[in-house]
Every structure is written in C-alpha cells, then in structure tokens.
Amino acid sequence: MDAKKWEILSVDQKIWIPTKEAFYYPDVLILPTPPLFYDDRKDIITNPICIFEVLSESTKNFDKAEKFDNYRSIPGFQEYYLIEQDKQLVTQYIINSKGNWELIEYKDLKSAIPMNCVGVELQLSDIYEGVEV
C-alpha cells in the first residue's frame, strides 16, 4: 500500500452520513489522502472508501443492516467489512462495476481477502491472530 496515498484511522474519527445528516463512529476506516472533512471539522470525515466494523451482540444487527445501508450513501464508498468476534468469519461487501453490492464470506484462516480499493490482500489469519473464538 502506498503510504502517501491512503490513511488508516481507528480512533475517535466520525464519518458523515449524508442521508441521515448525522455521523457514525466506525471501528476502522481507510480514506484517500488528503482527507475531506465535514464543515471544516477535523473529527468528521466525508470520504472513506473502506470501513471495518467488529461485530458484537449489541451492535451486530445495526451494523449489518441500517448502518451499512447508510454507509452506502457516502460518495466513493467501495468496501465494507464485518468481522465476527465469536467465530472466524469476515464478511466483505464490495461494489462491482455495475454499481451493485456483492457479499463474499471468508471462513478459512488460510484465506486472503483482496482489498481492491487499496490494492492489498488481508490475511484472515492476521485478523484472528491471538483471538480465541
């Protein structure tokens, strides 16, 4: 990954949701540099291309449905990852060339997840390293 081209954020950064006129806190997000901010605020991003959410019992349904639906209203948003805590499973949503979202599940620790938006692969074994499920 070209460090000058992308930025990875995981703490206290909000994402602007145009359809809700509100914001969400994602677990991890990737955005091109320079970041674009909402209303000149340095804590609200408007241009994420990739978002990761770690699912918990209390947020799982919201992250899979309403939150993802709202994230899709962000111009330029391309990839969404849901990471299960209680089993080895990563669900990847990617937008295809026709503008439709496709779902791909990764369960095998030997799986390599292509992150097309940044041109790298993420190993499932790296995500779950040190995690007991």
Annotate 50-87 with b (16+ C-beta within 10 A) or e (fewer).
bbbbbbeeeebeebbeebbebbeebeebbbbbbbbeee
Q: What is the pLDDT of residues 35-48, one digit of tens each?
A: 999 998 889 999 99
CA–CA dist 123, 110 (Å, integer): 7
Domains of the chain: 6-127 (3.90.1570.10)
In the chain, % of residues over pLDDT 90: 77
pLDDT number for residue 59: 92
Rama region for 39: left / alpha / beta (φ>0; ψ in -120 to 50; rest): left
> pTM for this structure?
0.91
Helical H segments across 7-75, by residue range: 60-62, 68-71
The predicted structure's pLDDT at residue 1: 45
Question: Does residue 106 contact residue 124 with C-beta atoms inside 8 Å?
Answer: yes
